[in-house]
Chains A and B, each alone.
Chain A
Amino acid sequence: MRPSLPHFHCPYLQPQAFQLAFTREGQSLSLRAEALPDASVTGTLPLQTEVRVIDRQQLDEVLPNGATRPVFWYYVSGTDANGATVEGWVNQRSLFIENRRTSETARVTGGEAVREWTFDHLNRMLADFRFGTAVSTTLLLMVLIVPAQFVLAIIMALVLQSQIRGSGLFLYIYAIPLGISDLVAGILWFAIFTQRGFLNSLLVSAEIIELPFIFIQADHMAWMIAIIVLAEIWRATSIVMVIVVSGLQAIPRDYLEAGEVFGASLWQRLRHIILPLLKPSLQVALILRTILAFQVFAVVIAITGGDIMTVLSNETFRWYDPARFNNPSVAAVYAGFIMLISLAISLFYMRAVRSQEEAVKA
Chain B
Amino acid sequence: MSTEALPNIPAVSPKEPMWDAQRRRALIGVRLRRAGVYAVAITIAVWVLLPIWLIATMAFSTPQDVRAFPKALFPNPISLDSINFFLNADGIIRATGNSIFVALLAVVLSTLLAVPAGYAIARYMFPGRDAVRLVMLSVRAFPIVVLAVPLAVIFLQLGLFDQPFTLALMHTALTLPTTVLVISSVFASVPFEFEEAAQVFGCTPLQAFARVVLPLALPGIAASAILTFVLSWNEVFAAILLTLSNRTLPAHILYNLDKSSDPFKFAAAFVMLVPSLIFIFFIRRYLFNMWGQINK
Contacts and interface: CB of A to CB of B under 8 A. Distances in A.
Contacts of B37: 159, 162, 164
Nearest to B233: A181
Interface stretch (A78-86, A89-97, A182-190): A182-190
B292 A320 contact: no
B149 A332 contact: yes
Interface in A182-239: 182-185, 187-192, 194, 196-198, 200-202, 204-205, 212, 234, 239
8 contacts: A13-B150, A156-B44, A167-B41, A187-B265, A291-B143, A295-B237, A297-B237, A339-B146
Interface stretch (B188-196, B200-208, B266-274): B266-274
Contacts of B49: 173, 176
B276 A191 contact: no
Given A180-B273, A328-B149, 13 more contacts: A9-B157, A152-B44, A176-B49, A188-B269, A201-B71, A201-B72, A242-B291, A246-B295, A291-B143, A297-B145, A332-B150, A335-B143, A335-B148
Contacts of A205: 70
B126 interface: no
A47 interface: no
B70 A204 contact: yes
A23 interface: no
Majority DSSP secondary structure for residues of A touching B: helix
Contacts of B151: 13
B67 interface: yes
B181 interface: no
B295 A13 contact: no
Given A156-B44, A298-B250, A176 B287 contact: no
A129 interface: no
Interface string A2-39: 00000001110110110010000000000000000000
A188 B146 contact: no
B208 to A, nearest CB: 30
Contact of A196 (B48, B54, B69, B72): B69
B41 A164 contact: yes
Contact of A9 (B40, B154, B287, B294): B154
B272 A234 contact: no
Contacts of B34: 164
Interface of B: 34, 37-38, 40-41, 44-45, 47-49, 51-52, 54-55, 58, 67-73, 141-154, 157-158, 230, 233-237, 240-241, 244, 250, 253-254, 257-258, 262, 265-266, 268-269, 272-273, 275-277, 279-281, 284, 287-288, 291-292, 294-295
A13 B147 contact: yes
A109 interface: no
A250 B291 CA distance: 12
Contacts of B279: 179
B295 A200 contact: no
Interface string A169-182: 01111111111111
Nearest to B235: A181
Given A191-B58, A322-B244, A335 B45 contact: no
A160 to B, nearest CB: 8
Interface string A286-308: 01100110110110011001000
- Size class of the contact patch on chain A: 35 or more
B32 to A, nearest CB: 13
Contact of B280 (A176, A183, A185, A295): A176
B152 A180 contact: no
A184 B253 CA distance: 10
A180 B250 CA distance: 11
A148 interface: no
A173 B272 contact: no
Interface string A146-174: 00000010011001001010010011111
Nearest to A205: B70
Interface in A238-297: 239, 242-243, 245-247, 249-250, 280-281, 284, 287-288, 291-292, 294-295, 297
B241 A317 contact: yes
B236 A297 contact: yes
A298 B254 contact: yes
B288 A198 contact: no
Contact of B45 (A16, A174, A284): A174
Contacts of B280: 172, 175-176, 178-179
A44 interface: no
Interface string A331-360: 110111011001000100000000000000
A176 B69 contact: no
Contacts of B148: 335
A17 B144 CA distance: 13
A335 B295 contact: no
Contacts of B58: 191
Contacts of B233: 181
A316 interface: yes
Contact of B55 (A183, A191, A287): A191
Contacts of A320: 149, 152, 241
Given A180-B276, A247-B295, A339 B44 contact: no
Contact of A346 (B44, B141, B254): B141
A200 B70 contact: yes
B265 A190 contact: yes
A159 B291 contact: no
The 6 closest A-B pairs by CB, nearest first: A179-B276, A181-B234, A201-B70, A187-B269, A246-B292, A17-B150
A77 interface: no
Contact of A159 (B40, B236, B241, B262): B40
